[in-house]
């Protein structure tokens, strides 16, 4: 298994620690929802399928041997669940498909927007704006560290090399950046 | 209260062994779990990966659904691994499957003969070029039907005993047909 944090969390789940699975859900929920939404266009159905993916994963955790990365395993469950959902749903016509029977090519993003509620869109846009504003207000060393980590996906060692500082300093800078952003984000989530 | 810098490092999969050893404590601490979730969210927001359809309640919904699954997983986790068994290869199931297959085959053969024989009669008579379903049924006498089905059931029971297929339900032996007792 590639990711040591995932491996440790999986081990905890297999020992019966259910909240360890909550951490895995928090870690991968958006990737799985985005993945499922590529197959299942209806927003509510996509959410149900994504939920089913995590429930299936939880029920199968005892059999997960760590031969692949946890996300690879979860990805396969998501693809199979979404395809099964489509197969089961093929018997009934979908409104979205009927709307575009004239053969016009409609980009997926247009479909997706149709099913996003204005309130949800607004909430996400607000959170995004707050996060980006806060990042722009950070001291340059914190801003650079968090951007190299989150945007470029560099490891702490790579960031340390790029910023010419110890790994421990990188760890500390990234945490401090998150702490500042988190303080701004919390009120939006508590509404 | 957890060390949130530790959580930050674990979110980045950059934690040390000591950090990972703290995971059970993080799992037990609601504030630590919420911090973990917000740190993940911050990353997803920066990368513009948050689907607006998700809402903030998705993880809670999953957690609630999983709570209902808890007894099932607990039983899986606590039980020692069992050797795999092939459900369809048990003697009882095999016996029943053989008996059921023989019964279906017999019925099929009988039904084929029942359906084709009147047609043969019909083609033998040039004056009778068309036959409806009722004609076909009536072209074989009732006595013939009873004799055939009784013969089939007797043969089937004998064959079943000869094969001594284990696990055949007891009520199979009671099946029979009595022409004298028919309507």
The DSSP letter of residue B127 is T
Nearest neighbour of A171 by CB, restricted to B5, B36, B50: B5
Q: How far apart are CA A37 and CA A16, in angstroms?
A: 31
What CA–CA distances, in Å, run from B40 to A24, B9, B35, B45, B56?
Answer: 10, 11, 9, 9, 12
**A28, A17 Cβ separation under 8 angstroms:** no
Query: Scanning every residue of chain B, which has its alpha carbon at the shortest distance from the alpha carbon of A62?
Result: B77
Range with the lowest mean pLDDT among A35-44, A141-150, B4-13, B172-181?
B172-181
Contact A5 B13 (CB under 8 A): yes
Calpha distance B77→B72 (Å, rounded): 9
Find the range with the poorest average confidence among A80-94, A143-157, B13-27. Answer: A80-94
* A25 interaction partners in chain B (CB closer than 8 Å): 59, 62-63
Per-residue pLDDT, B111? 66
Which of A9, A50, A178 lies at the smallest CB-CB distance from B42? A178
* Cβ-defined contact of B33 to A19 (cutoff 8 Å): yes
**Interchain proximity A47–B26, CB inside 8 Å:** no
CB-CB under 8 Å, A27 with B59: no
Confidence band for B128, pLDDT divided at 50, 70 and 90: very low
Q: Hey, is the C-beta of B76 within 8 angstroms of any chain A C-beta?
A: yes
CA–CA separation, A81 and A55 (whole Å): 11
**Tens digits of residue pLDDT in A132-175:** 999 999 999 999 999 999 999 999 999 999 999 999 999 999 99
Minimal CA–CA distance to B54: which of A101, A46, A61, A185?
Answer: A46
DSSP state letter for B83: P
- Express each pLDDT in B144-154 by its tens digit: 777 787 777 77
By the CB < 8 Å criterion, does B159 face chain A? Answer: no
Nearest to B69 among A55, A125, A131 (CB): A55
The one-character DSSP state at B111 is H
Interface test mutation site (partner A, options B57, B64, B66, max chain A beta carbons within 10 A): B66
How much is the pLDDT for B93? 54
pLDDT of residue A108 exceeding 90, the answer is no
pLDDT at residue A61, as a whole number: 94
Distance of CA B62 to the CA centre of its chain: 26
First to last CA, chain A: 38
Question: Taking a C-beta distance cutoff of 8 angstroms, is the pair A138, A146 a contact?
Answer: yes
**Poorest-pLDDT segment among A31-40, A169-178, B38-47, B137-146:** B137-146
First to last CA, chain B: 85
Radius of gyration of the CA atoms of chain A, in A? 20
Min distance A4 CA to chain B CA atoms (Å): 6
Distance CA A14, CA A9 (A): 9
Given an 8 Å threshold on Cβ–Cβ distance, is B63 in contact with A3?
Answer: no
B74 touches chain A (CB under 8 A): yes
Cα–Cα distance measured from residue A40 to residue B47, given in angstroms and rounded to the nearest whole number: 23
- Residue A190 DSSP one-character state: T
Mean residue pLDDT across chain A = 87
Length of chain B in residues, anyone? 183
Which CATH number, 1.10.8, 2.60.120, 1.10.10, 1.20.140, labels domain B4-78?
1.10.10
Q: Which of residues 16-35 of B touch A (CB under 8 A)?
A: 20, 23-24, 26-28, 33, 35
Average pLDDT over all residues of chain B? 70
pLDDT of residue B84: 47
Domain range list for chain B: 4-78, 87-181
Q: What is the pLDDT of residue A93?
A: 45
Closest CA to A58 of A11, A4, A7, A18: A18
pLDDT for residue A82 is more than 90: yes
pLDDT at A103 over 50: no
* CB-nearest partner of B12 from A21, A30, A149: A149
**Residue B51 to residue A33, Cβ atoms within 8 A:** yes
CB proximity list for B104: less than 8 A, separation 6 or greater? none
Is B177 at the interface with chain A, CB within 8 A? no
Interface mutation target, options A2, A27, A61, chain B, most CBs of B under 10 Å: A27
Sign of CA dihedral B19, B22, B24, B26: negative
Which domains can be identified in chain A, with CATH numbers? 4-112 (1.10.1740.10), 119-189 (1.10.10.10)
Q: Which of the pair, A138 or B168, is modelled with greater confidence?
A: A138
Residues 40-69 of B with CB under 8 A from A: 40-56, 58-59, 61-63, 65-67, 69
Residue B129 in contact with residue B72, Cβ under 8 Å?
Answer: no
If one compares A21 and B105, the residue with the highest pLDDT of the two is A21
Q: Looking at residue A71, what is its pLDDT?
A: 96
If you average pLDDT over residues A38-61, what whole number do you get? 93
Contact A30 B67 (CB under 8 A): no
Whether the predicted pLDDT of A184 surpasses 60: yes
What ipTM was predicted for this assembly? Answer: 0.86
Nearest to A13 by CA among A1, A29, A25, A31: A25
Render pLDDT for B48-95 as a digit per residue (tens, 0 to 9): 999 877 666 888 899 999 887 655 455 445 444 444 444 444 555 556
Of residues A34, A51, A121, nearest to B62 (C-beta) = A51
Q: Which residue has the higher pLDDT, B27 or B132?
A: B27
pLDDT in tens, A2-43: 589 999 999 999 999 999 999 999 999 999 999 999 999 888
């Amino acid at each position: 298994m590639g990711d040591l944090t995932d491996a440790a969390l999986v081990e905890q789940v297999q020992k019966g620690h259910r909240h360890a699975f909550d951490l895995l859900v928090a870690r991968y929920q958006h990737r799985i929802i985005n993945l499922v939404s590529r197959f299942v266009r209806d927003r509510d159905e996509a959410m149900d399928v994504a939920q089913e993916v995590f429930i299936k994963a939880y029920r199968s955790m005892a059999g997960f041997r760590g031969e692949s990365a946890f996300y690879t395993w979860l990805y396969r469950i998501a693809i199979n669940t979404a395809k099964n959902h489509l197969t089961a749903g093929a018997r009934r016509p979908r409104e979205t498909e009927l709307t575009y029977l004239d053969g016009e090519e409609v980009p997926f993003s247009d479909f997706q927007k149709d099913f996003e509620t204005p309130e949800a869109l607004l909430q996400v846009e607000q959170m995004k704006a707050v996060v980006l504003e806060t990042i722009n207000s950070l001291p340059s060393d914190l801003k650079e560290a968090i951007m190299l980590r989150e945007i470029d996906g560099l490891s702490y060692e790579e960031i340390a090399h790029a910023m010419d500082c110890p790994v421990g300093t990188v760890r500390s800078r990234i945490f401090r950046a998150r702490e500042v952003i988190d303080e701004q984000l919390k009120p939006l989530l508590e509404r | 209260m957890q060390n949130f810098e530790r959580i930050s490092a674990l979110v980045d999969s950059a934690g040390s062994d000591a950090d990972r050893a703290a995971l059970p404590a993080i799992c037990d601490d609601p504030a630590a779990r919420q911090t973990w979730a917000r740190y993940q969210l911050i990353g997803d927001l920066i990368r513009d990966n948050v689907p607006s359809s998700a809402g903030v309640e998705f993880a809670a919904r999953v957690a609630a659904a999983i709570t209902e699954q808890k007894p099932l997983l607990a039983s899986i986790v606590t039980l020692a691994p069992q050797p795999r068994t092939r459900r369809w290869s048990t003697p009882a199931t095999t016996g029943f499957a053989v008996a059921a297959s023989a019964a279906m085959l017999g019925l099929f053969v009988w039904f084929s003969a029942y359906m084709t024989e009147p047609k043969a009669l019909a083609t033998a008579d040039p004056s009778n070029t068309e036959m409806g379903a009722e004609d076909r049924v009536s072209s074989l006498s009732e006595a013939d039907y009873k004799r055939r089905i009784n013969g089939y059931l007797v043969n089937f029971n004998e064959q079943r005993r000869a094969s001594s297929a284990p696990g055949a339900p007891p009520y199979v032996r009671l099946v029979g047909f009595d022409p004298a007792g028919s309507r």
